[in-house]
Every structure is written in C-alpha cells, then in structure tokens.
Structure 1
Amino acid sequence: MSGRARVVTRFGAELILRTESGELLRAVSRRNLVKHGPAHLRVSVCGDYVSYETDDGDNKAVATTLEPRQNVLVRPDHRGRPHAGAANIDQVLIVIAPRPSPDWGIIDRYLTAIAALSATPLLVINKSDLSESPAEGLIADTEALYSGLGYRVLRTSVKNGDGIETLREHLHGRTSLLVGQSGVGKSSLTRALDPGLEIRIGELSAISGEGRHTTTVAHLYALSSGGDLIDSPGVRDFAPYEPTADDLATSFPEIAECAHDCRFHDCRHRAEPGCAVKAAAETGRIPPSRLRSFLELEGNSA
C-alpha cells in the first residue's frame, strides 16, 4: 500500500505520519529523502508532506519521498549548525505571558525567523487574567510596541476563556506554529483550543511508545475546529539561522525606513557619523531594545 501523509512528529530515527484519511502510522524514513542540497534539509521534519509505502499486514510504513516545501524553520543547534525544526508553516504564534516576563530580544529573533518563512506572525499574550502581576507594565509596553509596529497582538486566558474563540478563528484553515519561552502556557493553550485533543495525545503516545506527551520535540495536531497546530518545545532562548538583509528589513521596518536617511548607504548604525537610525533611537522614535536586537542579528546575518 502507498499514499501521501503528513509528518506529525519525529522521534529519533522514526516518524509518525498522518495519512489523508486521518490514520496515524509509525514509520521509518529513507536516509536521505532528497539527494541534493544541505544535509539538514534532506530529512523530513514535523509538518512535511511525504509519500509512503507499507507492506500488507505491516503497520510500520516507510517514507520514500519528501514533497517540495512551502518553507522550513531553521535555527542553529548547540554547535551552531543549521537544524530544521518544522515545515510548511502559514502562521507563527509567539506566546508570551506575565510570568516569565517577556524578553523583547526573543520576540525580535522570532519575528526575524518568521520573516524568512514568509509566514504571518501573531503575538499572543497568554495568562491575561494575571492583570495584577508585577510584569503587567512590561506586558502593556510589549503590546503597545509591537501593535504600534503593525503586528497583530491578541490577549488570551485559559482560566477564564478570554480570546480563545478569536484565536481559534485565526487558526482555522492554516498550519500554525506555536512558539515561546518555557512556562508561558503553550500546552494548556493548545488544550483550551481543542478540548478533545487529550484523546489524540494519548493515541500519539501509544503509537510512539514514548509515554505521555511532553513537548520535547515538535508535534502537529489536527484541530477539530479546522487547521493544523504545531506545538514546539519551550525555550530559554532562540535565534534564527543566518538571517538575510531582506529578513531584517521585513522584521525591523522602522529601522529600514530610517536607514534611508543615513549619510552613508552602507551605514551599519554603530559608530558611523550621520546615522539617522542612531539619531532616531536617541530621540525615542526607535525603541533602544529594537536597535539592540537589530544590531545583534545584523552581526550574525548571512
């Protein structure tokens, strides 16, 4: 038997596939599904579409061909080498919360990675019921900063249900990737979006043999309300892999706009005279946090 399926998750050398009929299959993958290109792009990852084959009476399939990707999220691993984490993403939800306090640097690095994907970003301020949190001022500043730059910001609360239905509408018909720091409530948010998900998590655990689900690798879930949601592991930090100048211009539009007025066309916005970007930061037109993020990323760009 053969067919087309989507990669739900990868654990070690094995995969779990979701067929077009919704069946979950445990599978192995050919060593290199793609013969040419960088090594990190030759293997299948969560969100990929593959062709598979299986013998009659054998529940273990073999992924034989990797279909062309819409995009793939790449980040450096602990050795600085590129690592592909998820593919075919339409939208990325950056989840923040009053606790742990939002890190503007991580938000900016995620936005730059999203620009490389040509995906739609959505900032989700979770745990909005914690309105008396000491971090509420920072949350308000974060909301004002990014909504002022044109990014969509949505507040949600699993506890009282605020914003859940609106978020569910944003997910309908799309493949969305859920990212954020550890402890911001991504897993509880996932369960609130689809109360029936607990059953499917149990089915996934039974097939993988990995025990009850904890988000240590990316998992793709079909939402009963429509759309696919990729839940990724929580992070302490994040960095995109070698962002391009175009990625930075897209994710830092206010800096790109001011850069046109710099004295030198190749201004790096560091110590050059006549730098319009530095002048804008000194007057508050560009938030200092955004300039710090830009300079850090620009120094690591391809």
Structure 2
Amino acid sequence: MSKKKPLSQGQLRRMRANQTKRLKRSDANDAPELQDNLLGPEQSGVVISRFGQHADIETIDGTVSRCNIRRAVTSLVTGDNVIVRLATEVQASSSIGGIVEAVHPRKSSLTRPDLYDGVKIIAANIDQILIVSSVLPSFTTQIIDRYLVASEDTDIPPIIILNKIDLLNDDNRDDIEQALARYQAIGYPVYRVSSHTGEGVEDIKALLNEKVSVFAGQSGVGKSSLINALMPEADLLIGGVSDNSGLGQHTTTTAKLLHFQSGGDLIDSPGVREFALWHLDATRVGWCFIEFRDFLGTCKFRDCKHGDDPGCALREALEAGHITQDRFNNYHRIIASLDEQRHARHFRAIDE
C-alpha cells in the first residue's frame, strides 16, 4: 500500500496554531463542569452530533443528552462510540446532561483536508459510502472517480447508486449503462433507484440494514430526496435543481447520526458534499484506482508520469484492455487538478 504523504512543516505549524486558538476560545467559553457527585455510573453511548465543546450522546436506552467533553478527549466526531456519565440531577439553569469521559478506538474515519488542520476527521465508524450520481445533473464519471479515490484512501467500502432512473431515455441510457458496467467489471457494486417513483428503494433499505452509512455526491443528484424516501421521519430539506444552471443547492448544515426504521444508521454530513483531494500525492491517487494496482511500480522508469513515457506499464495495460480509457483519463484529470488546488490554497493561506 502506498504511504500517505506526511504534512509539510508549514501545514503542521498552521494546524498547531489553529488548534491552540480553538483551545483558548473553548477555555474561555466552557460551561462549569458537572460535579462528580451529580453524575451516574459510566455507560456506553454514541455521538449523535457535535456542537463546539458539547456533543449530543445517545445511550443504549435511546435517551439523547447534551454533554460536556472532558479536556482529555482531544478528538470527538459524529459516530464515535464513547463512555459517558449522565447527570443524576440537571440544574434548571443548565441544559448539560452529562460528561463524555472517553472515546473507544475507531474502526474507520471519514476525513477531508483542511487548510489549517491538515487532514480533519469529520465522522467515525462508517461501514460504507454510498456514492450517489444521477441522470440529472448530467451524469459524469469524473465526479464518481473522485469519490472513489476518497473512499479508497479512507479504506471505507464504496457503493455506486444511480438516482433518478425515471429520467433515463434513448439519448442517455446507453452511455450511462456502459459507464456503470465498467465500474461493475472492476468490482464496485452498482444500484439503480428513483426516489421519485420508489423504484429500487427497497434494495437500498436492505443494503443499509445493520450498517452505518454515508451518502456522498455532488449537489443536485438527489441525496436528500433519496434519504427522505428511505427515512421520511428525518424531514430533511430538499434542494431543488436550478432551472438556469442545472446545479443543485446544498442543504445539509450539521453532521448528525440518524436511524433508519428498517435498520441501520445514517451519518448525514456537510463534510461529504465535496471530497477535496489536494492532500494526496500522485502515487496515492494511482493506488486508489484499484485496477491500476497490479501495474504500479512496474514501469521502466521510476519517475514515470503514466503519460507517453516509454515503458509505462499503465499505458501498456490500457492498450491491452486491462484499464479503460475513461478511468485512465479521469486519473490524469485528478492529478492535473492537485497542483492547481494546492496553489490556490497556498495563496489563500498567505492572504489570511
């Protein structure tokens, strides 16, 4: 497995400075901690949502309490399994109902790059990422491949869902089905659904049962509509597609863990609206294209860019039909975008 590129010294300095500032702000704004004699025994819980220095914790009996977080707990995100002590008496002047004492080790972490914090964890203990694409806005494999790279990088299994299949017609059906078949050929599960007609919804319910899932996809593909079809009680806002631009409006603002009545949990988070990849190097991106792995490291030259380089194993695999042209092109588009994104963030950091 390709190792992740370590953070630069500049990134580390910015990350530490930003963390120090947050700690100072939190010290100034912390509510008085509950006294031990007002707390019950330790019990297990899960983070439903995180709000600054507080978190909503759900315990085994289904009770949700807003809790303080012990200062020794340095990282806490939605989906974390925790040890909590709930207050036996809640003061009328306080909404705090307990204290998070400790966090269990995570089995997976969903991350995104942050200008000041390096790689930031936004949710934990996720079993699968459902990558939602759709017929409208226009179906594009470039977006799907970016999400697949992010999924492979975090080692969380991805599943591809095509939404709005009721909009398939003779003009778009063949191209979309051929693209989906390419993903199935390299081992990715593909599901087809319409949140409008309900077709395929029961298949997705079965897929979600006993799993903690995240829905990812660009704006306008119908993530919120699909979630509402699966979980009507969630009452999520639905962003419409602009008639002028064809682009959707992002509607989710706070990461929260929700329960499906049919079984399983959803972490609905704005952090997966768009996976930025600028923290990855080209070697890691290549490894995240799963069909490339057998050929990586076998090029004639160690610094091969996998373009027109002589002796390029990826190019030979492409010509032999082991790699598709579409995926090969999307790999190079992602690589080309990395330097642009890093350049833009470098100057943004200077300006700030």
- Please confirm whether the aligned pair reaches a TM-score higher than 0.5, indicating the same fold: yes
Unaligned runs of 5+ in 1: 34-41, 203-213
CA contact (8 A) 2:258 2:267 kept: yes
Matched to 1:104, the amino acid is T
Secondary structure of the corresponding residue to residue 129 of structure 1: helix
Q: Which residue of 2 aligns with 1:37?
A: none
Given the alignment, which residue of 80, 91, 102 partners 1:48? Answer: 80
CA separation of 1:104 and 1:23: change in aligned 2, threshold 3 A: same
Q: Which residue of 1 aligns with 2:123?
A: 86
Q: Which residue of 1 aligns with 2:324?
A: 287
Q: Which residue of 2 aligns with 1:180?
A: 217
Q: Which residue of 1 aligns with 2:45?
A: 5
CA distance in structure 1 between the aligned counterparts of 2:271 and 2:120, rounded to whole angstroms = 16
CA separation of 1:70 and 1:151: change in aligned 2, threshold 3 A: same
CA separation of 1:66 and 1:234: change in aligned 2, threshold 3 A: closer
Matches within 5 A, 1:1-302: 1=40, 2-33=42-73, 42-58=74-90, 60=96, 61-78=98-115, 81-132=118-169, 136=173, 138-198=175-235, 214-233=251-270, 237-240=274-277, 241-242=279-280, 248-249=286-287, 251-259=288-296, 262-264=299-301, 267-281=304-318, 286-295=323-332
TM-score (norm 1): 0.80
Secondary structure of the corresponding residue to residue 159 of structure 1: coil
**Deviation at residue 293 of structure 1 after TM alignment:** 3.8
Shifted more, 79-88 versus 261-270: the winner is 261-270
CA distance in structure 2 between the aligned counterparts of 1:108 and 1:127, rounded to whole angstroms = 19
CA distance in structure 1 between the aligned counterparts of 2:165 and 2:45, rounded to whole angstroms = 37
TM-score (norm 2): 0.69
Secondary structure of the corresponding residue to residue 197 of structure 2: coil
Q: Which residue of 1 aligns with 2:347?
A: none
CA separation of 1:236 and 1:158: change in aligned 2, threshold 3 A: closer
**Deviation at residue 233 of structure 1 after TM alignment:** 2.5
Shifted more, 71-80 versus 279-288: the winner is 279-288
Identity in percent? 37
**Deviation at residue 144 of structure 1 after TM alignment:** 2.2
CA separation of 1:67 and 1:243: change in aligned 2, threshold 3 A: farther
CA contact (8 A) 2:150 2:275 kept: no
CA distance in structure 1 between the aligned counterparts of 2:224 and 2:169, rounded to whole angstroms = 23
CA separation of 1:50 and 1:139: change in aligned 2, threshold 3 A: same
**Deviation at residue 171 of structure 1 after TM alignment:** 0.8
Shifted more, 288-297 versus 56-65: the winner is 288-297
CA separation of 1:234 and 1:43: change in aligned 2, threshold 3 A: closer
CA distance in structure 2 between the aligned counterparts of 1:236 and 1:70, rounded to whole angstroms = 22
CA distance in structure 2 between the aligned counterparts of 1:248 and 1:67, rounded to whole angstroms = 32
CA separation of 1:43 and 1:244: change in aligned 2, threshold 3 A: farther
CA distance in structure 1 between the aligned counterparts of 2:209 and 2:222, rounded to whole angstroms = 21
Matched to 2:265, the amino acid is D
**Relative CO higher for 1 or 2, CA cutoff 8 Å, sep ≥ 6?**
1
CA separation of 1:259 and 1:169: change in aligned 2, threshold 3 A: same
Secondary structure of the corresponding residue to residue 46 of structure 1: coil
Deviations along 1:149-206, one digit per CA (max 9) or x if unpaired, are 22110001111111111111111111111111111111121121123334xx79xxxx
Q: Which residue of 1 aligns with 2:248?
A: none
* Structure (1 or 2) with the larger CA radius of gyration: 2
Unaligned runs of 5+ in 2: 1-39, 238-250, 340-352
**Deviation at residue 231 of structure 1 after TM alignment:** 1.8
CA separation of 1:154 and 1:282: change in aligned 2, threshold 3 A: same
Matched to 2:81, the amino acid is Y
CA distance in structure 2 between the aligned counterparts of 1:243 and 1:86, rounded to whole angstroms = 23
Q: Which residue of 1 aligns with 2:349?
A: none
